[in-house]
Amino acid sequence: MNAQVPVIAAKFRGHFPEKPLLVVSPGRINLIGEHTDYNEGFVLPGATDKAVVFAVSPRPDGLCHFVSHDFNQEFRCELGAFHRSPLRWPDYLQGVVDQFLKAGHRVGGFNCVFGGDIPIGAGMSSSAAIEGGLAFALNVLFGLGLDSLALVKLAQKAENEFVGVRCGIMDQFINIHGREKSVLKLDCRSLEFERFPFEREDLRIVISDTLVRRELASSEYNVRRAQCEAGVSVLRMHDPSVRSLRDATLDLLGEHRAEFDPVVYRRCDYVVRENIRVGDASAALVRNDFAVLGGLMNLSHAGLRDDYEVSSVELDALVEAARRVPGVLGARMMGAGFGGCTISLVEADAVPEFEARVARDYEAAIGRAPKIHVVRIEAGTHAVEGV
């Protein structure tokens, strides 16, 4: 049982008399395949034990009453009369309800208390956990009968339209489809996926948080998307079957290099190579070859830093500190970038040394301590029994 469940259930009891539906909605890691999802490429994420817990119940009137346990704030709005909030967190929730209504689903008013332990804005997808968790909860609460994929798409649209980040589908997809002890290779074009076991008892996934949050992340994210689209337009002049960078090869790119803006070229080159790495990484998982996986993670970081240019001094410092620790198989920045966290694959025995040395080296380089979390791969969004 997620340790947050009794906490959120108790908080709900403090506000509302009825018995709530309880839902656990995880954050995610991504082993490899960064900035590939919106290029219709491949990703290799897993859901984590870090999660947001929701306690939700229907109301007879048309009010949506949200209580954030972590911020100790409340927000109320009438169904359909949504408005962006300076508090920010209500937008992720309102966006979801808005999408249900826009799609014609019969959602009524409700009470909602939520909170959790996913580091916020750190690249572990706390936003998709909020969107996916509420979408899942409302689907159950109002008996809408939507399938998993419909919930994923609705949650993604909430982020695209209400929050205004043109995110891809990875985060919402893994939030709903994650499974314990396995990662999922998702084809972000067809949405077909394959699960790969990740159950080596001698290895740990370690998340190191720079504790730097950059506002730049969402504006630069949209710039990267536009640069990828610009690259596709160049290639389409020669081969109209290229619909996205998913269809590009290194040969095709190389052949037309002179026609590209040099920055756009580097962006596209990174994406094509990263897609190839996801294929190589899943093959390595099948062979149980984690040394190869670690090497691919290192290459991914180099591409994100030098060619896609979404890393930061802090992220690079964490990655370098991690790689100096014996027993680290690979490390890279994770998520959209500019701040947030890194993911390292670490031998279980080496974790205490990792925690001590990475904290010390990062502090020496950056002047503040990072936050380090060892995470487990757990199930996607699901309902749990009360306590």
Place of tokens 């002047």: 367
Active-site residue identified among 37, 49, 117, 171 = 171
Cα 307 from Cα 114, distance rounded (Å): 39
* CB of 163 vs ligand GLA, minimal distance in Å: 10
Closest to 133 in 3D by CA, of 120, 149, 152: 152
- Contacts for 297 with CB less than 8 Å, ≥ 6 apart: 31, 32, 281, 329, 330, 331, 332, 343, 345
Does residue 37 have an active-site annotation?
A: no
The β-bridge partners of 21 are 56
Between 98 and 171, CB nearer to ligand GLA? 171
Here the tokens at position 286 are: 């099948």
Residue with tokens 């990655």: 319
Q: Min. distance of Cβ 13 from ligand GLA in angstroms?
A: 34
Residue 159 or residue 347: which is nearer to ligand GLA going by CB? Answer: 159
Quote the least distance from Cβ 73 to ligand GLA, whole Å: 24
Q: Which residue has the tokens 């062979």?
A: 287
Q: How far is the CB of 30 from ligand GLA (least distance, A)?
A: 6
Q: How far apart are CA 32 and CA 177, in angstroms?
A: 17
Between 35 and 177, CB nearer to ligand GLA: 35
Q: Classify 219 as helix, strand or coil.
A: helix
Kindly tell me which of 113 and 170 has the beta carbon lying closer to ligand GLA.
170
- Residue 13: HSE in the Cβ half-sphere, 13 Å Cα cutoff: 8
The packing angle between helices 313-323 and 351-366, to 10°, is 140
* Of 34 and 307, CB closest to ligand GLA: 34
Look at residue 204 and give its three-state secondary structure: strand
Please count the helices (runs of H) and the strands (runs of E) in the chain.
11, 13
Min. distance of Cβ 122 from ligand GLA in angstroms?
A: 10
Taking the least distance from each CB to ligand GLA, the nearer of 125 and 227 is: 125
What span, in angstroms and rounded, lies between the C-alpha atoms of 23 and 37?
26
CB of 167 to ligand GLA, least distance (A): 3
By CB atoms closer than 10 A (0-12, 13-18, 19+), residue 295 is middle
Cα pseudo-dihedral 180, 44, 371, 267, rounded to 10: -170
Which positions lie near ligand GLA, rule CB under 6 A?
Answer: 34-35, 37-38, 125, 167-168, 170-171, 335-336
Active-site residue numbers? Answer: 171
